[in-house]
Structure formats: structure tokens, C-alpha cells
Amino acid sequence: MIKLPQDVLALAYLAAAALFILGLKGLTHPASARRGNLLTMGGMALAIVATLLHPAVRSYGWILAGIALGAIIGTSIALRIRMAAMPQLVALLHSFVGLAAVLVAIGTFLGHAHNSRVLLAELFAGCFIGAVTFTGSLVAFGKLQALLPARPLAFRHRHLLNLLLVGTIVALGVQFVLAPTLATLVALTLLASVLGVLLIVPIGGADMPVVVSMLNSYSGWAAAATGFTLGNPLLIITGAIVGFSGAILSYIMSRAMNRSIVSIVLGGFGGAKPGDAVVATAASQGYKQAAVEDAVFLMGNATRVIIVPGYGMAVAQAQHALKELTETLEHKGVQVKFAIHPVAGRMPGHMNVLLAEADVSYDQVFEMDEINPEFASTDVVLVVGANDVTNPAAKTLSSSPIYGMPILDVGKARNVLFVKRSMKPGYAGVENLLFTQDNCRLVFGDAKDVCEQMATELKAAA
């Protein structure tokens, strides 16, 4: 049985870590994302092989069985999962990392001597962070999968309760380090599991993209804690990379939403209910409906069209139909651009991935700050299921749970065509005031079917 010397093993881990960092760099832009994925896959393959050749590995039976089972489950999920369900899959995978950290910590406690307080502190950290990540990610998965109510489930004095839980967990952690027992470790793990639920349950749908990226950060710290427990430097490095990158991404997204990341994490936002005035206004003023033919006429005679994709596009898998529509419009001499809000969809980069899947040119895709000044001079904006990120209530209605969040200024365009399946509000649960504006018309139907009909009608009119 071949075993790697410690210096060769360290070199392999260093190379794997370098590939992870280079891969993460590649993921910062859609054009280099594929290369970034390949680099990280190579780094993971190298890390697995090096770990299998670690001198501490005595047999491969259970290890290979676990790898085979994981490969079967992972491949099955990858082949079946729709892009629309990717956010909840990410949340579920985060929960696995947290659970793994807890199991490693408890397993290490049961299999090792307890004469090192440093190790005991590492076990405490692994159980604490891992349990919060596990249950918090499961709640996020439940909300995204509609197994739990998407609305905030807030209650009085929740912050005080959370503070008491944290204090109790820390006190049990100190007791565990000084006088280690399995009962203490299990007790603090259970309390941390309850804390994970209580932290995520009060957070509403409007803040869920930030929550997913924050849980990504938690999973990284859980992995780093596991690395310390196992004495694995690569796991420490990769866990720290994931932890810091997830935290930075959460901060960037919270700024894009004009929210305090501390308040989001503590469940302080997303808890307001839409005011009765909003619903009454929408009901009394009504909305204007447009047929596909009307939308085709407006876009076919336009000079500039901006398409705003949202979660509705993801659900309908309409990105390929939008690509066809874009090519048809460009063939008629219409300039077409795509506008992406930082938190469109249910996870960071959701829309970018879908558009890249449909081979939409990166040069046509613009972020909110780049595209917002252009709406006022645009003939037609086609919104495909992007409710909350286009809602003027974020600027005008202080009682709205999305108040203060920067939005795409689609309402400034000459004409707004909004593709919707129904009048159901967006994930934040608030009515979109855009629907009552004079320049907005709603096109009802499945996003994919509607966009395909638009492309067909445009070709016929050419």
C-alpha cells in the first residue's frame, strides 16, 4: 500500500489549495467561470488522492463505500435538479457540511484521549458552528422549497432568547473544556441546533439570498473547525476561504439591498407586512393587460429593449426562449441588453448562470448600477418574473418590507411589459406598485411559452 511522505503530502495539499484559490478567482466572472470550476475540480481530485495516501489511513473499505455512495447520490441529484431549484439545493448541501462537522467532533471525542484542552475547544467550536449551520440551512431549504412559510415567523423577545441561548452554549462549552463529558457536548450541540432554527425562521423572503450566502460562510467555518480537529491543513485553508468569501459576498449583497447585515442575520428585516394601502391601491386602480401581439408590436418597433430576468424565468426555464427572442429582435435591428439585479432569483449569480446556459453574450449582461441610467432612454423593458427587484415600493413606501432596497428603475422606460403567470406577489409577499403605472402592461402566461410566442410572432412579422 503506497503512502506519501509528510513533505510530499504537504506539497500536494499546498497545490490543491492553490488550485482552489485560482478556481475561486475564475468564478468572479462568467467568462472565466468554466475554467474556475475545472481548476477547483482538479484541486479536489488532488486533495482526495493525497488524503487516501495519507499514512494515517489504515484501510479503504469504508472510505471507498462512502465515496461510492456519495458519488451515486451526487450524480443523481445533479442530473435531476433544475436550475430553478439550485438555491434550495445549495442550502441543503450547506446543512451536510454542518452535520459532518458535528459528527466528526463527536466521533473524535469518543475515539481520543481528553488530555488536550486545545482539542476540546476545537470540538466545542465544531459542534457549535456545525449545529447552527445544519439546522439553519435546513430551515432555509424548507423556506425556499415551500415546505415552510416563506414569510417571516417572528415572535417577541426573540433576540433576548437568542442571546440567552448563546450565553448558555458558551457556558457549556467552557464546562466541556474544563471537565469534558459526552452529555455536555450533546447538550450544547442540541442548544446550538435550536439556535440555528431560531436565527433563520424570523428572516423573510426578501432577505433569503443574503441568508443563503451567509450560511455558505457558516459552512466554511464549520469545515475549518473540522480541519483543526483532524489536523488537516487543507481543510483549514479551504474552510477559511469559503468562510471569508461567503461573509464578503453576504456583506456586498446586504449593501446592494441597503440593509444591515447584522440585522439580517439576527432576523431583524423582512418582518413587516405589506400595508393595506398597497393592496387597496392595486385593487382600485387595476392594471392594464397586453396580448403577445401587442408586446411584439411594441418591441418590433423599438430601438432599444432591455430584458430583466427574475425567478419567474428560472421557474419556467425560459432562458433559451429569451435567447431566441433576443436574436430575433437583433435581426430586426433592435439593440437588446439584459439587466441583472444583485439579488435577482434565490441565490447570488442565479440569473447570470441561467443566461450563460442559454449562451447569452456576456457583453449584453449588465449589473444594476451600470444599467439603471439607461432605462429612461429605453423604448421597451421586458420583465420576466422579477417582482421584488423592480418594485417602486422599495423607494416610496416606508411600511414595505423591501423599503430602502435599491431596485432596477424599469418604471422610467417608455413602455414596460411584465410577464407573469398570475397576480401573485413576489417572494417578499408584497404587491408591485409598478403594475398600476400608466406605462406598464402585464402579459399573462408561462414565461417560456410567452417568450417563444413572441419570437415566433416577430419572425412572422419580419
Residue 446 annotated among the catalytic residues of the structure: no
Strands (E), 147-209: none
CA nearest neighbour of 203 among 261, 120, 133, 286: 261
Q: How confident is the model at residue 99 (pLDDT cuts 50, 70, 90)?
A: very high
309 strand-pairing partners? 384
367 strand-pairing partners? 340
The predicted structure's pLDDT at residue 269:
45
Entry pTM: 0.70
**pLDDT greater than 90 at residue 342:** no
The predicted structure's pLDDT at residue 152:
72
The order of strands in the sheet holding 415-420 is 288-289, 440-444, 415-420, 380-384, 304-309, 335-340, 365-367
**Residue labelled with grid coordinates 410566442:** 453
Q: How confident is the model at residue 31 (pLDDT cuts 50, 70, 90)?
A: confident
Domain boundaries, the chain: 1-80, 83-271, 276-461
Catalytic residue among 7, 388, 446, 449: 388
The predicted structure's pLDDT at residue 406:
87
Give 159-178 pLDDT, tens digit per residue. Answer: 889 999 999 999 999 999 99
Q: Of the segments 231-235, 251-255, 304-308, which one has the largest average pLDDT value?
A: 304-308
Grid cell of 122 as nine digits: 476545537
**pLDDT greater than 80 at residue 425:** no
* CA 432 – CA 434 distance, rounded (Å): 5
**Residue labelled with grid coordinates 426555464:** 317
Helix (H) or strand (E) holding 284: helix 276-285
Spatial contact of 371 and 408, defined as CB atoms under 8 Å apart? yes
More confident residue, 83 or 283: 83
**Top CATH class, 276-461:** alpha beta
The predicted structure's pLDDT at residue 280:
42
Can you spell out the DSSP letters for 369-383? HHHGGGGGG-SEEEE
Q: Per-residue pLDDT averaged across 123-130, rounded?
A: 93
* CA 23 – CA 43 distance, rounded (Å): 9
